[in-house]
């Protein structure tokens, strides 16, 4: 009689053989290959031909039927794949997609040792889950599920608004949710990455936040940081500070309204700006102002300037402007001249102030 361990190994081996049967894999166009499935890792499918040679194919390059087959064969190990195809604007609140992750180390590679050490040093054990577009790391599930639903909506909402941009990340971004302000303070102190006054921050492809409740102000902070997290996936080069924060303010506010089923009218989203920061001062900033009043002026002016540029031309031209800066690395003033025909900062400021009136 076989031992339980030997029996288990036999079952696993039989399952692997069945999962690795030869089949024809296709991609739209002329690509076909007869091979068996070997593994799936963060968007890359490894296949093996009959002669033993292995090839790697990005999941989004395969046909929809083959993508479903990869997910079926990979099972619980199908982690980090982003849905492929033309992104469409979401309608209504997204249904929550949530899959608990149990096996392996699910902490993101982009996390610093100090950040990871600070998180593991907290008093509550961590759990991990995957939504359609993100990996969630959390101490308690309730608020993490709220964040996951909103994050999936924001990804689709922003991606649909930026046609022509390509998601450049190979794996899903991560969202780390701490359970309360006390745990957050301990984390901020131990990691030393963000200012002690911060309630959330984004570091590359990882977002850190605390459960601050569901008030309107807290929701806007979450929406703003989530916009940074999504936009970071599409930009090959970082935009200037004013453009980066202006985009996060714009999508944070319009995306939040859309998420809650409210109609978004771009021409009416800005309101009045009573004390704008001079553009020469704003364009020269390499870091955030030290004066709290100037910080508020900076964010408000950045928000209105991005709104002005979005409304001054159609979406196709605004996307071209963004691509010149964040993909090709062009100087912002040269991009403004090429797309909007502003020959100088003074010309831009004059047009901006006419818009504000």
**Domains of the chain: residue spans and CATH:** 21-77 (2.30.30.700), 86-234 (3.30.2010.30), 237-357 (no CATH)
- Angstrom distances, CA of residue 68 to CA of 12, 34, 44, 64, 245: 22, 17, 14, 6, 38
Q: Are 191 and 122 in contact (CB under 8 A)?
A: no
Q: Are 183 and 210 in contact (CB under 8 A)?
A: yes
Q: Which of 198, 193, 24 is nearest to 112 (CA)?
A: 193
pLDDT score recorded for residue 85: 47
Q: Can you tell me which residue has the tokens 């409740």? A: 213
* 3-state SS record for 165-233: CCCCCCCCEEEEEECCHHHHHHHHHHHCCCCCCCCEEEECCEEEEECCCCCHHHHHHHHHHHHHHHHCC
The bridge status of strand 32-41 relative to strand 134-138 is unpaired
pLDDT score recorded for residue 60: 67
Distance CA 304, CA 247 (A): 10
- DSSP-assigned letter for residue 266: G
pLDDT score recorded for residue 80: 47
20: Cβ contacts below 8 Å, ≥ 6 apart = 36, 37, 38, 48
Question: What are 317's two structure tokens?
Answer: 């031209």
Sheet holding 22-26, edge to edge: 22-26, 32-41, 44-48, 54-58
Taking only the tens of pLDDT, the chain with its 357 residues reads 444 444 433 333 334 434 458 999 987 666 789 999 888 765 678 899 989 888 888 776 788 778 778 777 776 454 444 444 445 666 656 667 888 998 778 899 888 899 999 999 997 789 999 998 899 999 989 889 989 998 998 998 898 888 888 888 878 999 999 998 899 999 999 998 887 778 888 988 999 999 876 666 567 888 899 999 999 999 989 999 999 999 999 999 998 888 888 888 877 778 888 889 999 999 999 888 888 888 999 999 999 999 999 999 888 899 999 999 999 999 999 999 999 999 999 999 999 999 998
pLDDT score recorded for residue 299: 93
Do you know the residue count of the chain?
357
Strands (E), the chain: 22-26, 32-41, 44-48, 54-58, 99-101, 127-130, 134-138, 173-178, 200-203, 206-210
Q: Are 31 and 67 in contact (CB under 8 A)?
A: no
Angle, alpha carbons 153-159-165 (nearest 5°):
165
- Angstrom distances, CA of residue 181 to CA of 113, 200, 201, 215: 22, 11, 14, 15
335-341: long-range contacts (C-beta < 8 A, 24 or more apart)?
Answer: 339/313, 340/309, 340/312, 340/313
The backbone region for 100, taken as left when phi is positive above 0, alpha when psi lies in -120 to 50, beta otherwise, is: beta
Strands (E), 235-300: none
Angle between helices 292-312 and 345-356 (to 10 degrees): 90
CB count, 10 Å around CB of 225? 20
């Amino acid at each position: 009689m076989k031992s339980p361990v030997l029996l288990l190994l036999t079952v696993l081996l039989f399952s692997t053989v069945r999962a690795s049967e030869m089949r024809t894999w296709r991609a739209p166009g002329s690509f076909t290959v007869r091979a068996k499935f070997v593994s799936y890792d963060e968007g890359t499918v490894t296949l093996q031909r009959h002669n033993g040679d292995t090839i790697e194919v990005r999941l989004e390059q395969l046909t929809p039927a083959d993508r479903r087959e990869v997910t079926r064969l990979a099972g619980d190990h199908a982690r980090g794949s982003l849905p492929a195809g033309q992104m469409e604007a979401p309608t209504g609140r997204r249904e929550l997609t949530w899959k608990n992750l149990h096996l392996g180390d699910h902490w993101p590679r982009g996390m610093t040792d100090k950040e990871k050490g600070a998180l593991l040093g907290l008093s509550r054990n961590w759990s991990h889950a995957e939504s359609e577009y993100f990996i969630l790391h959390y101490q308690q599930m309730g608020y993490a599920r709220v964040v996951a639903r909103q994050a999936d909506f924001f990804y689709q909402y922003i991606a649909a608004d930026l046609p022509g941009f390509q998601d450049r990340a190979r794996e899903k971004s991560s969202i780390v949710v701490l359970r309360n302000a006390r745990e957050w303070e301990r984390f901020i102190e131990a990691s030393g990455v963000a200012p002690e006054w911060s309630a959330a921050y984004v570091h590359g492809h990882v977002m850190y936040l605390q459960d601050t409740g569901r008030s309107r102000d807290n929701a806007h902070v979450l929406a703003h940081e989530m916009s940074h997290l999504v936009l970071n996936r599409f930009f090959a080069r970082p935009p200037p500070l004013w453009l980066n924060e202006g985009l996060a303010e714009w999508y944070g506010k319009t995306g939040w309204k859309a998420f809650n089923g409210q109609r978004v009218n771009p021409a009416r989203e800005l309101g009045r700006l009573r004390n704008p920061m001079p553009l020469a001062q704003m364009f020269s900033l390499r870091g955030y102002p030290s004066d709290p009043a100037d910080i508020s002026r900076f964010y408000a002016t950045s928000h209105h300037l991005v709104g002005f540029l979005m409304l001054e031309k159609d979406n196709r031209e605004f996307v071209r402007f963004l691509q010149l800066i964040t993909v090709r690395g062009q100087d912002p003033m040269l991009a403004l001249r090429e797309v909007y025909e502003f020959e100088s900062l003074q010309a831009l400021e004059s047009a901006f102030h006419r818009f504000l009136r």
